[in-house]
Amino acid sequence: MRIRNLLAAAVLGAAITTPASAQLGGLVRKAKEAAAQKAVESAIGPTNKSLKPSDAFGPELTAASLDGVLRGLAVLQASHEQTEQMRARRMQLDTQLSASITAHEKERESFEALRNKRQACQDSVIDVRGNAAQEAFMKRMQSDPAAQAEAIKMANEIAMKAAISGKTDSAEATRSMQALAKANGIDLHADSLAAVKHCGAIPPTPAWLTEQDSLRARAGRLDEEIRESQYKSGDDATKAAGMEPRAFALAQERVLHWYRETHGGPQVQSFGNDERKLLESRKADIEKYKQVLN
């Protein structure tokens, strides 16, 4: 009985340990495979699944096309340097404007409050006088047919002159209309004088505010010049390269990808051996244009 029990235990032990040994062997084999894969990646680098084929960015660069790209990059870099100078001046204007606004903040509040108050007062006086004069004019026209006919005649003459000259808003047309209005009791100049007398004159614009407006205008002109320069530089670069716009854009992109890859960036596309050798041979020339390649 004891021998039978021992045999049974031996058989059971064999049944249990055999799969465990097989499992352990599988783990060892997988560990060896992982180590081998790691060794390969260390030697050639990990596979870049996002790497695009060479022809995704047009034809490979040749000596001639690379020369064209370098000519275009020279134009772009010169434009970039000019634009940076304009941006520096733009920042100086912003600094001056900010300092002036801070220095004159309380004065500006006082000036604007007084100006708005007097402007509102003057507008009110002019409206009251104008409405009264217009009402009197309408009553006179209704009660005096001859005066009405004369007013219509003068208005027609003014309109005819404006139609002939083609300038309905000319200074002469304005003066003629003011004369017609004055002849009928509507005097805009007298209304303005009365408004100033009653409300006080609009305060003159302070020198510091004029300077702020000038700084804003100069900044706006610089913004426009920067936009113009950036827009024009692309066309100028393409012409300098002697290439079609799309061909130049693709060739420039190839140089950009290679430059960034060789400066620690990700590998975006594949390159042929001859193309890599060409780019390496012109590395010093390409480095000259790092400002527009970074």
- The DSSP letter of residue 77 is H
* All structural domains of the chain with their residue ranges: 56-104+230-294, 105-205
The C-alpha R_g of the chain, in whole angstroms, comes to 43
Instruction: Please tell me the distance from the alpha carbon of residue 292 to that of residue 236, in angstroms, as a whole number.
Output: 15
pTM of the model as a whole: 0.61
In this predicted model, what pLDDT tens digit does every residue of 95-148 receive, in sequence order? Answer: 999 999 999 999 999 999 999 999 999 999 999 998 988 888 888 878 888 877
3-state SS of 115-153?
HHHHHHHHHHHHHHHHHHHHHHHHHHHHHCHHHHHHHHH
The separation between CA 9 and the C-alpha centre of its own chain, rounded to angstroms, equals: 84
Residues 153-195 pLDDT 10s: 877 877 777 777 776 666 776 777 777 777 767 788 889 999 9
At residue 49, the pLDDT reads 65
Give the three-state DSSP class for 58: strand
